[in-house]
Structure 1
Amino acid sequence: MKRLLTALLLLAALAIAQPAHARARLPIRGADVSSLAKSEAHGGVYRDARGRRGDALRILSQAGLNYIRLKVWVNPADGYNTKTQVLDLARRVKAQGMKLLVDFHYSDTWADPGKQFKPAAWEALPFDQLRQAVYDHTYEVLDALRRQGTTADMVQVGNEINGGLLWPDGSNSTWPNTARLLNAGYDAVKKVSGSTKVVLHLANGGDNGLYRWWFDNAAAHGIRYDVIGLSYYSFWHGTLEAFQANINDVATRYGKPVVVVETAYPFTTADDDGWENIIVSPEPYPGYQATPQGQAAMLAKVADIVRQVPDGLGLGLFTWEATWTGVEGNGWDPADPSSGNGWENQALFGYDERALPALPVLGRG
C-alpha cells in the first residue's frame, strides 16, 4: 500500500510539473471532410485502425475529433459541396456529437489566394446586388441548417481571402468594398444564430507581415468577425517558428481567438490513383519524414504550437481533407470527371483504407 501511495504521489507531482500547454486539450480537434459525400458516392471505404469498415465520421469521432469543416460552393459543375450535401453531412456530424464549421467559398469552384472567382450566376450583378447575394446565400444555407436542428457552430465568410473575395469587386485593392461584402456575410450569420462564431481566414500562416497588414486594414474599415483563421502547411508557409511567432502575435495584437482551419502532412510519397501528388518529397519539412509517423509528429507539433498561444486564445486545428482518399471519380476538378486527386497521400486514411496513427494523435489534441 505504501509503495502504491508513493507511486500515485509521484504521478501527481509529474502532472503538476508539466507545463500547462502539455496538459491542456485543445477545444477544437477537427477535420475538413468536404469531399466525403462524393467519395462515398463513388465507392469510398473507410476503416478504423483494426481494419473494421465503418462510417468515416464515426471513426473520426471515436478517435477523439470533435469538429468537422465543410465547404460550400454556389453552383459547382459536379453538383457536390452544395447546400444539399452540407445538410446531409451536418445531420451525420451532429449525430456523432461533433460541432460544425461551414466554409463559404462564394464561388462555383476553389477559392484561395490565387483565385476568387464569382459564381456564374453572380457575374453580372451590380455591386449592391452582389452584396445582397452574399447575404442571401449565406442566410439560406445557414437557416436551412438551423431549421433541421444542426445549427452551424462556426462559419467562415470566405476562404483564404488574402486578396479579398469575389474579384474584382471585392478585391482588397478596394477595402471599402471588401468590408461591405464580408460584413454582409457576417450579418447573415448572426441573423440566423447570434451564438455562431464568424471566422475570417487567410492562408500563409507563417507570414506575419501579411496578417498585420490584413487585419489592421480590417480594423480600419470596420470589418466584423469573431475568430482569426489560418492555413498553415509547413511545406509551403514558412518555418514552424515563423508560424508560432505569427499566431501568437495576431492573437494578442487583435485580442481574438485563433484557429488553424487548414493543415496537413503526407504519410507517404507513393501515389494511389495515377494522378501526381502535390507533395512528393520524402522529407517535405526538415526532420519530418513523409511517413505515417512523420505525419503524426507534424500534426502533434502544430497542435502544440496552437496550445501555447497566450491567454488561451489558441482554439485548435483542422486537418484538411482527411477523407479525400484515392477514389476514382472523386478528383479535384468539379468540371472534369477524369481528374484525379493530388492529396490522397495527406489524408488520415491510408491506401489500405485504414485510419492512420495521426488520427488518434489529432483526437487527443
Structure 2
Amino acid sequence: MLYFDHCASTPPHKEVIRTLAEVMEHHYANPSSLHKPGAEANKLIERAREQAAALFGVKAEEWIFTSGGTESNNLAIKGAARQYRSRGNHLVTTGIEHASVYEAFRQLEREGFRVTYVPAGPGGHVSPERIREACTDDTILVSVMHVNNEVGAVQPIAEIGRWLRSRPKTLFHVDGVQSVGKLPVSLKEWGIDLFSISAHKLQGPKGVGLLYVREDVRLDPLFSGGQHERGLRAGTQNVPAIVAAAKALRLAIESQPLRLERMTRLRERLVRQLQAIPELVVNGDASSGEMAPHIVHFSYPGMKPEVIVHMLEQNGVVVSTKSACSSKDDRPSRVLLAMGLPHDRAASGVRISFGDEHTEQDIDKLAAIIRTTVDTLKPLERKGGGQA
C-alpha cells in the first residue's frame, strides 16, 4: 500500500515511538504532584519545552503544550480575541483556512466580533495588499496559515508580519501545522505573535500539539481548572506525548533542508505527469507564488472525488479529498471556492501528500495508477460522476 495522505497524518518516526513507550513505562506520575516521581515527570516536560524553544530561537516559557493543532488554533484565536476585545472588535483571516481556524472565527462572529475573510487568488495565494486593505483601526487579530492544507499554497507570512509590526495593537497568528519540517520558519523575524503546531503532522504522536505565545501576549483560556501551562491550558499534561512530540519536532526541523530539496523534486515530477492527463486539472499555481513541497492537488471535473479515492485505494494507493477534518462533508471544497475556482473543480478535488519514505519510483507508480483510474472512470462522466 502506498500511503499518500501525510497532510492528514504521518507515520510516526521509529525513534519517536521508542521515546513514547519508554516515557510511558517509566514516568507515569502526575507532573503536577509534589513527590519525586511527579517532579521527574515535570522535569521531562520542561526539558521538552526548552528543546522546542531552542529550535526556534525563542524562550522556553513561550511554548504551550496542547492536544493538537485544533486546540492550538482555537486557543490562539479565541483567547486573543476575547482577551483584547477592549482594544477593538475586528478580526481578519482568509477564506482558505483550515476548519479549526475558520470555524473559530465563525463562532467569534456569533459572539459579536466583526470578521473579514480575505479571499485567495486562483493559485491559492493570499495577497498581502488584501490583508492590509482589510485591516482597520479596530483590528486586533490577523490570522493567516503558512501552508494551505488542501492545495499547498505558501502564504507570504514574512511580508504580512513585517507590515503588522507597525500596528502594535494587532496580533498576528499563523497556523503552521503543514509547514513545520517542510519549510523554514522564523518566528521573530516574521513578527509572529502566535504559532500553531501539530505533532502528528511531522511523524510525532497524535493528541499533542504546541502553541507559541510571545512572552508579552495574554490569552483568555479555553479551559477552567488548574494552573497547568502558565494557566492557559488546564488539565494534566500528557508527559509521554509531549516528550515524543519534542523529539519529532527536533528530527523534522533538523532534516528540513534536505526534505525540502528532495520533496520539491518529487512534487515537480508528479505535477508533470498529472498535467499530461487531459481530464485532470492541477490546482495551485506555482507561477503565482511558492508551493509547499509535499502537496499536490488536482481536480477531475465531472467526477465525484470519493469515487476516485476509493478506486485508487482498490489499486493500493491511499490519498484524500479535502482535509481529514472535512473529508466526510460532501459539499464542494470551501477552500477551492474561496480561490475563485469553478464549482466543478471545487467539487472534484483530490489531495496527494507525501513524506520521507517516498521515492521517484513511488511517484511514477502513483501517476500510472491515477492514469489507469481516469481511463476506467472516463465512461462514467456522462452518468453523473460515478453514480451509474
TM (norm. structure 1) is 0.29
TM (norm. structure 2) is 0.27
Structure with greater proportional helix content = 2
